[in-house]
Structure 1
Amino acid sequence: MTIEIRPDDALIVIDVQNDFCPGGALAVPDGDAVVPVINGLIGRFAHVILTQDWHPAGHRSFASTHPGRQPFESIAWSYGPQTLWPDHCIQGSTGAEFHPDLRVDTAELVIRKGFRGEIDSYSAFMENDKTSRTGLAGYLRERRLNRLFFCGLALDFCVGWSALDGRRESFPAYLIEDACRAIDLNGSRAGALEQLQAADVQVITAGQFV
Structure 2
Amino acid sequence: MTNVFPSRPGVGDALIIVDVQNDFLPGGALAVPEGDRVVAPLIQLAARFAELGLPVFATRDWHPQDHCSFAAQGGPWPPHCVAGTEGAAFAPGLRLPETAVVVSRATEAASDAYSGFQGTTLGVQLAQLGVKRVFVGGLATDYCVLNTVSDALAGGLEVVLLADAIRAVDVNPGDGDRALAAMLAAGALTGSATQAAAA
Common fold: TM-score over 0.5: yes
- What are the Cα deviations for residues 100-146 of structure 1, in whole angstroms up to 9, with x where unaligned? 110123343111001111111110111xxxxxx31111111111111
Alpha-carbon distance, 1:13 to partner: 0.2
User: Partners of 2:38 and 2:100 in 1: how far apart?
Assistant: 20
User: Partners of 1:196 and 1:107 in 2: how far apart?
Assistant: 28
Please give the secondary structure, in 2, of the residue aligned with 1:43.
helix
- TM-score w.r.t. the length of structure 2 is 0.90
User: Partners of 2:183 and 2:190 in 1: how far apart?
Assistant: 8
Structure 1 residue identity aligned to 2:192: T
| 1:56 paired residue number | 64
The reply on whether 1:105 has 2:109 as its aligned counterpart is: no
Off by >6 Å, runs of 4+ in structure 1: none
The reply on whether 1:175 has 2:161 as its aligned counterpart is: yes
Q: Any unmatched runs of 5+ in structure 1?
A: 67-82, 127-132
Alpha-carbon distance, 1:14 to partner: 0.4
| Bigger mean CA offset, 98-107 vs 145-154 | 98-107
- What are the Cα deviations for residues 70-111 of structure 1, in whole angstroms up to 9, with x where unaligned? xxxxxxxxxxxxx60010000111000001110123343111
| 1:17 paired residue number | 21
Alpha-carbon distance, 1:204 to partner: 2.1
User: Aligned residues: percent identity?
Assistant: 41
Q: How many residues align?
A: 188
Q: Which has the higher contact order (CA 8 A, sep 6+)?
A: 2
Which of 185, 196, 204 is 2:183 aligned to? Answer: 196
Alpha-carbon distance, 1:3 to partner: 1.9
| 2:135 paired residue number | 149
The reply on whether 1:165 has 2:151 as its aligned counterpart is: yes
User: Partners of 2:156 and 2:140 in 1: how far apart?
Assistant: 22
Instruction: Kindly indicate whether the alpha-carbon contact (under 8 Å) linking 1:50 and 1:107 is maintained by their aligned counterparts in 2.
Output: no
The reply on whether 1:4 has 2:12 as its aligned counterpart is: no
1:2-151 aligned within 5 A: 2-45=6-49, 46-66=54-74, 84-126=76-118, 133-151=119-137
Instruction: Kindly indicate whether the alpha-carbon contact (under 8 Å) linking 2:41 and 2:194 is maintained by their aligned counterparts in 1.
Output: no
User: Partners of 1:184 and 1:99 in 2: how far apart?
Assistant: 21
Structure 1 residue identity aligned to 2:117: F
Please give the secondary structure, in 1, of the residue aligned with 2:142.
helix
Instruction: Kindly indicate whether the alpha-carbon contact (under 8 Å) linking 1:48 and 1:106 is maintained by their aligned counterparts in 2.
Output: no
Q: Any unmatched runs of 5+ in structure 2?
A: none
Instruction: Kindly indicate whether the alpha-carbon contact (under 8 Å) linking 2:45 and 2:194 is maintained by their aligned counterparts in 1.
Output: no
Please give the secondary structure, in 1, of the residue aligned with 2:36.
helix
- TM-score w.r.t. the length of structure 1 is 0.85
Structure 1 residue identity aligned to 2:166: C
